[in-house]
């Protein structure tokens, strides 16, 4: 819900086919192709109970909402 100033959304993982596009503190999974991108994202979504969002066609992020 809105209004709170506390940290509510957390990036749990990043899955990408484009390794150069992502760097930094998050857990990054580099996958070879689109099919593997969908598969890994699917698994991570269920495991982490965070929602998968498409940042661009190459990159997915798993976000924990509130």
Partner 1 sequence: MEFENFTWAVIIGILIGFLTRLRMLRADYRQYPTYPHGQIIHLALGLIASALGAIAIPALLQKDYTAITFLTVAAQQFRDVRNMERETLSKLDQMELVQRGATYIEGIAMVFEGRNYLVIFTAALTTFAAVISDRWWVGVATGIFLLAISGIVKSGKVLKDIARVKGGQLRVEGPSLYVDDIYLMNIGLAANREIILQQGVGLIVEPVDISAKVTISNIGQRQAILHDASISMGVYRDTGEPALIPISKRDLKSGRLGVLLLPNDQDLQKAIRVVSEVPVLESAVRKPAQYP
Q: Which one of residues 13, 14, 31, 52 is an interface residue with partner 1 (CB under 8 A)?
A: 52
Residue number with CB closer to partner 1 (19 or 54) = 54
DSSP 19: G
- C-beta of residue 62 within 8 angstroms of C-beta of residue 12: yes
User: Cβ of residue 64: shortest distance to partner 1, in angstroms?
Assistant: 8
Site string for partner 1, 6-45 (x = CB under 8 A): --------------------------------x--xx--x
d(CA 66, CA 8): 4
d(CA 13, CA 30): 11
């Amino acid at each position: 819900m809105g209004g709170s100033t506390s940290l509510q959304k957390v990036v749990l993982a990043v899955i990408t086919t484009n390794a150069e596009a992502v760097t930094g503190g998050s857990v990054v999974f580099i996958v070879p192709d689109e099919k593997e991108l969908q598969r890994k994202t699917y698994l991570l979504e269920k495991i982490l109970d965070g929602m998968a969002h498409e940042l661009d066609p190459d990159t997915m992020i798993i976000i924990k909402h509130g």
